[in-house]
Amino acid sequence: MANIIEEIIKRLQRVNHIIASRTNVSDITFADACVIAQFYHDYQNTNTIIDDVEDLVRQDGRTLYECATDLKKEVDKFVSLDLSAWNALDFINMEQSHLKEYKERWDAAKDKATNLWREYQTESNRLDMMDFNSEDFNTLNAQCDNTKLAYDEAHKQGEILYSIYRQEQLKCGQVHYFEMQFLELLIRKISKLVDVILKNGEHLEKEV
C-alpha cells in the first residue's frame, strides 16, 4: 500500500501533466478542473499529511527520505509551470456550464410532471360533475387513470433526475469554490514539509 507521500507524488504528476498540456483556457475541460480541484480538496489539510509523515518516520525513515526526494522533483516541476491559463480560468462559470445540462433535464421532467398533474386534476374535477353511469364518464375515468399513471411515472423520473443533478452539484462544488492560488499555497506548504523531511533524512544518513 502506497504511503501518503507516494500517493501525493502520483497525483501531483497527473496535476502537472494536465497543467503543462493545457496552455490556453479553451483547452481546459471540466474533467481537468475536477482533477486539480480534487487534489487541493484532498490535501488542503496539511496537518493530516504531517501526522502520516510522523508515523512513516518511525516506521521507515529511509523510504520516506527517498519518497520525499521524488516529491521534491514534482513540486519543483509544478513551480516551473506556466499557470497563466489556469489563473485566467473562471472555475465558477465552468462548473455552472457543466451543471446546466443536468438542471435542464430535471427542469424538463419537472415541468412534464406538473403539466400531467394539472391535466389529471382537470379530468378528475370533470368526473365529479358527470353522471357515474354514463358512457362519457367511463371513457373519461379510464383516461383519468391513464393520466395519473403517466404523472406517477413522470414524477418518479423527475425525482431520479433531481437526484442525479444534486449528486453532480455536490461533486462539482469543489470546482465552484476553487481558485488556483489555493493550490499554489498548498504546494508551497508541501514544499516546506519536503524540505524538512530531506533535512532530517540527511542527518540520518550522516548518523549511519
Residue pLDDT, tens place only, 139-164: 999 999 999 999 999 999 999 999 99
Residue 202, classified by CB atoms within 10 Å of its CB into exposed (0-12), middle (13-18) or buried (19+), is exposed
If you compute the radius of gyration of the chain from its CA atoms, what whole number of angstroms results? 29
At CA 82, angle to CA 79 and CA 88, rounded to 5? 120
Identify whether residues 28 and 71 lie together within a single domain.
yes
Q: Which of the 8 DSSP states describes residue 133?
A: T
Residue pLDDT, tens place only, 37-76: 999 999 999 999 999 998 888 888 888 889 999 999 999 9
Q: How far apart are CA 93 and CA 95, in angstroms?
A: 5
Identify whether residues 167 and 121 lie together within a single domain.
yes
Per cent of the chain over pLDDT 70 is 95
Around Cβ 165, how many Cβ atoms within 10 Å? Answer: 19
Q: How many domains are contained in the chain?
A: 2
Identify whether residues 97 and 43 lie together within a single domain.
no
pTM: 0.80
